[in-house]
Amino acid sequence: MNRGKNIMLQGTASSVGKSLLTAALCRIFQQEGHKVVPFKSQNMALNSFITEEGLEMGRAQVFQAEAAKVKPSASMNPILLKPTGDSFAQVIIKGKVYKNMTAVEYHEFKPQLREMIGEIYEDLIVSNDIVVIEGAGSPAEINLRDKDIVNMGMAEIADSPVLLIGDIDRGGVFASLYGTIMLLTEAERKRVKGIIINKFRGDKSILEPGLKMLEDLTGVPVIGVIPYGSFNIEDEDSVTDRFKRSINAEGKITVEVIHLPHISNFTDFHVFETIPDVHIRYISNGDTVGNPDIIIIPGSKNTISDLKYIRESGLEKEILRAHQKGSLVFGICGGYQILGKKVLDPNGVESNMPEMKGLGLLDVETSFEGEKVTTQVEGEILFEDQNLLKNCVNNRIKGYEIHMGRTELGEDVKPFIEINKKLGKEVKYFDGAVNREGRVFGTYIHGIFDEISFTEKIIANIMKEKGLTPSSYQQISLEEYKDREYDKLAKLVKENIDMKKVYQIMEE
């Protein structure tokens, strides 16, 4: 049986660029005619996605699959850890919830997953030309080495060569690269075949003497120095600077997203960053909600805890004040639940609080149940008014649901969306709610704004209400936009990495 080649990207720390460089290599290999897939044995993130089969996986492997031009599959990320608190995480194996575990429990459990990871990886390597493997954090976590299944432990399972990435933008890149290599065992050091320095700014000639000394010290060649680039590509998880900056600050319409402590699927708002007229801002504890056109309460991995945070931080009063002054309010998944009158958790699914009062902006109540909903859906907008949703009725939308709660509608709201397709099969049920005034909206559908025709109608309606004229720009789908960004990323990396050496390393 023919086997493909592999290459693994590991980093000196989290957020050094492993996910983006994995995506870049996937696109480069795809452009050069190879059938390529990404793989990460274990991902820890609150950003997740539901596949066509109804299985849950990390979004990092989704955008890497998009870069490779293949359909996302849970086999690309067989283990997903979704933190629910400081020491607990929901453990998802092969796309399905296994159980909640403490960090200690999971650490002891990891060796039992090794055989399963190997089998899934084997299926990928025999059915593709190249598998690009991503590590997690750093391979030099010497306290975790004995049970590692995602860094050098995964390189051993896959018998893969490793490229080690360091982030020069943080400072101390030579020390972090050298220190990482020196903390590896002799067998692990032999797997490191190349070094990549990422996020470089300035004149490379000034860097050259340091590169030569690093190669002499480690015996590992530096095969690439990647300049700092600006790409509008999804972040893997909440270790991002996205929440610290204002995006499209000159936009005529302002969208403010409440940055919850357990925020999940903030990729739902990626599309707003592609629309020049939209200024998007993330609101954290200590920030003041302004007078935005739209306030969005996003998804949450712990709805009750985040509702408590909104109340205790003073953001509840800020949100209600802004809404009274005219801001539209939109809740997605956990945010939808927070907008209701009550959140009930009698069985302790999410917390030890059996009941908590919601913001009361929607006449709905949510109860948490044990079975998790994970599904892709399609449907049509039901509700139409002369404000936000003018000309939106029957607009097709699609996305995915990931939630434990079930929400019941009261008399003062109307259903928002009619779902008519679920995991490819015809169905008929309602999702979400809209208040009588058409100024507060809730839905369980992640990715609802990705339907550009729907989102642009909303923006146009707000601008018309304000007497503004939309800017003229070429409208393209989010898929086309992302595809263009992947090509830009691949071009930058290809121009600054020795791809001949990469192929040579894979062959050896």
Stated pTM of the model = 0.89
Question: Can you give the CATH number for the domain in which 455 is found?
Answer: 3.40.50.880
On whether both 35 and 169 belong to a single domain, the answer is yes
On whether both 488 and 369 belong to a single domain, the answer is no
Quick check: is 66 in a domain?
A: yes
Where helices occur in 233-375 by DSSP H, the ranges are: 303-312, 315-324, 334-339
- Element at 407 (helix H, strand E): strand 396-409
Per-residue pLDDT of 442-472, as tens digits, reads: 999 999 999 888 888 888 888 988 898 877 7
Tokens 């070429």 correspond to 474
On whether both 408 and 491 belong to a single domain, the answer is no
On whether both 428 and 488 belong to a single domain, the answer is no
26 labelled catalytic: no
Quick check: is 98 in a domain?
A: no
On whether both 399 and 492 belong to a single domain, the answer is no
Q: Are 402 and 48 in contact (CB under 8 A)?
A: yes
Quick check: is 142 in a domain?
A: yes
Report how many domains make up the chain. Answer: 2
* Whole-angstrom distance, CA of residue 362 vs CA of residue 415: 11
Active-site residue (options: 26, 259, 279, 333): 333
Quick check: is 11 in a domain?
A: yes
Quick check: is 242 in a domain?
A: no
Q: Which residues partner with 79 through β-bridges?
A: 42, 93
- Sort residue 463 into left (φ over 0), alpha (ψ -120 to 50) or beta: alpha
Angle of helix 173-183 relative to helix 204-218, nearest 10 degrees, comes to 20
On whether both 306 and 199 belong to a single domain, the answer is no
On whether both 399 and 359 belong to a single domain, the answer is yes
Average pLDDT value over all residues in the chain = 92
* Closest CA relative to residue 357, chosen from 389, 394, 320, 398: 320
pLDDT attached to residue 333 = 96
Question: Can you give the CATH number for the domain in which 149 is found?
Answer: 3.40.50.300
> What is the phi/psi pair of residue 373, to 5°?
-85, 125
Question: What one-character DSSP code corresponds to residue 262?
Answer: T
Quick check: is 243 in a domain?
A: no
The domain of 202 spans 5-41+58-70+105-233+483-507
Q: Are 21 and 165 in contact (CB under 8 A)?
A: yes
Per-residue pLDDT of 95-149, as tens digits, reads: 999 999 999 999 999 999 999 999 999 999 999 999 999 999 999 999 989 999 9
Quick check: is 23 in a domain?
A: yes
Per-residue pLDDT of 302-327, as tens digits, reads: 999 999 999 999 999 999 999 999 99
On whether both 271 and 378 belong to a single domain, the answer is yes
On whether both 316 and 427 belong to a single domain, the answer is yes
On whether both 446 and 347 belong to a single domain, the answer is yes
446 labelled catalytic: yes
On whether both 302 and 442 belong to a single domain, the answer is yes
pLDDT at 53 over 60: yes
Mean pLDDT of 163-167: 97
Quick check: is 75 in a domain?
A: no
On whether both 341 and 372 belong to a single domain, the answer is yes
Active-site residue (options: 262, 279, 403, 446): 446
Q: What angle do CA 37, 47, 7 make, to 5 degrees?
A: 25
